[in-house]
Amino acid sequence: GQQLNQSPQSMFIQEGEDVSMNCTSSSIFNTWLWYKQDPGEGPVLLIALYKAGELTSNGRLTAQFGITRKDSFLNISASIPSDVGIYFCAGQPPNTGGFKTIFGAGTRLFVKA
Amino acid sequence: NAGVTQTPKFQVLKTGQSMTLQCAQDMNHNSMYWYRQDPGMGLRLIYYSASEGTTDKGEVPNGYNVSRLNKREFSLRLESAAPSQTSVYFCASSASNRAGNTIYFGEGSWLTVV
């Protein structure tokens, strides 16, 4: 089946730094979603992308739907300690009604104050 | 602001025991899902219900059954628990829009099978 390669697996950064993470696939997706998960909690939706080339922001977060429809990236600007967590990308393949969302393995972000 | 609520939060089972995870959503969403999350892996779809009255298998359905009781509720049953089913289980729901399915998750249920 389709798989998502999410990188990097983990990042250790200093407070105030910008962060970039991405997901790639060998197959196309119709929708890309980005989630953040805090310890002991469920994933929380950050940004949803529905169209190739789309660039969407949510506060300090910016995500883009790649033109080829096979990749997406998430940027976090001016990181703060509460950005710590696991970030997941997720893609919805075509012809699945959006029901069979595939998730990346996650990027663990550590922010040093 | 309940969103997706799932119970229990924690459960320990012995191998061979059965149990049901309950899930309810108050967002009037048509579709509901059960995922499992294992260390170092993304979420994997067990079963989903596109709408009330329908259920379909996901990526890892073996050992599980589901029931879409009504529009609000979607339960996951383990008939004979196995240690390989030790995991964190997430219920989710979505309302399809023209563009795609935006999925909202519950807080998770930690299940240990010994």
CB-based burial label for A1 (10 Å; 0-12, 13-18, 19+): exposed
Provide the mean pLDDT of chain B.
Answer: 93
Mutation pick from A101, A103, A108 vs chain B, by most beta carbons of B within 10 Å, is A101
Flag whether residue B101 sits within 8 Å of chain A, measured between CB atoms: yes
A42–B108: do the CB atoms touch at under 8 Å?
Answer: yes
DSSP 8-state symbol, A83: G
- Strands of A71-76's sheet in order across: A5-7, A19-24, A71-76, A61-65, A55-58
Q: What is the mean pLDDT of residues B23-50?
A: 93
Q: Cα dihedral angle (A3, A5, A9, A11), rounded to 10 degrees?
A: -140
The alpha carbon of residue A44 is apart from the nearest alpha carbon of chain B, in Å, by 7
Question: For chain B, what is the total number of helices (H) and then of strands (E)?
Answer: 0, 11
CB A103 within 8 A of CB A89: yes
Q: Please give the pLDDT value at position A60.
A: 97
For A50-77, how does the pLDDT look when each residue is reduced to its tens digit (9 = 90+)? 999 999 999 999 999 999 999 999 999 9
Contact B50 A103 (CB under 8 A): no
CA distance A42 to B87: 13
Contact A50 B104 (CB under 8 A): no
B16-33 average pLDDT score? 96
